[in-house]
Chains A and B, each alone.
Chain A
Amino acid sequence: MNRKQLWKLLSGLGLAFGVPWFLMILIPYFQQATASPVPYSEEEGVDGFTVYPDPSYGTVGASDYGLKIYEREGCAYCHTQVVRPTYAGPDMWLGWGGGPETARETRPQDFAGEAFAHLGYQRIGQDLSNVGTRSTREELHRVLSDPGSVSTGSAMPSYRHLYRKTDSGWAPTGDAEALVDYLLSRKKDQPLPDSVR
């Protein structure tokens, strides 16, 4: 093929891919990257919050290091972090939407302050969007060190390398505490302002 033919083909290929690349990836990405928080209106009495998403969202104490552990152990391969609307699945029914008062489906802004939304790949385990609203620190340590003792027939492996064996059971290391910090920070239940509802 001569130079002209090659350039013609290359621009055809570029156009075929460039259009969806621009419209489907770049524009939505930068729209989301530059979105500003939505303030609540005067009438909405929401205690503690002035804007949605709240700037403290997604970060709790040592959870940044906990996130690293969540990622390195591949948690997102079996656990999702997305509560789908009722038309897509019974996620709300299963109690994954958060506390009884605040339960709702996942919104894009719920991941504000995080680098990557671990929406997940498979659901071999529960959805973790709101695991922080339904679990205590002790429960999570127990699940992580000995999943079988919490639910029989669980497909979850244990993460005992994050624990030390003691006479009374499994004592968490700093890594385990960080991971649990991260899990306890999983609360996607900030009430929505009327304007985005």
Chain B
Amino acid sequence: MRYFKILCTIMIVTIFFWSLKASAGISGSKHDFHSASWNTNGEICQPCHTPHNASTVEKPLWNHQLSTQSFTVYTSTTTDATIGAPSASSKLCLSCHDGVTAIDNFGGRTDGVITMGSVGTGSGNLGTALTNDHPVSFAYDAALFAADAGLKDPASAGISPLLKSGKVECSSCHDVHNTANRSHLLVVSNASSALCLTCHNK
């Protein structure tokens, strides 16, 4: 019985340290703009959120100008998903990542000039042609699973937490607040393509 207790203790301690390793947060991440020249207040949350007078349309407490761009969505002869215009939280991401909407247009400001396109932030600038980007804002449901043998059952344990209202959104793969401190703010490490293979049955 003593042996049993020691074993359990070792494992609990190991899991504890493992979980510590995985926590990081937005501070210091690529989404931490507190020292950016255009963020005059020097706050971390403000470019996206505000506690008061937030957007009446978008949640959560949205503080950034929304993209007015129309996006060209991904198409492929082998996709079975119905891909609509970016919606829900993906639309919020694109309010910077469209490369057109000024990133300093927040808190009611609309005369900002700094865009992701203008500061050359590389692969983070998706542009308005999303044809070369993984589709978002599509329902990943039983019907899609049935139609595409290359996908896993969305009801399976690893997938359902990633979906937002049953849809794949930017946030299915990306953790905007960097709680896990992974490259590209990924929700799951993509070592061995584990993130891709969460959904793709390849």
**Do A and B assemble together?**
no
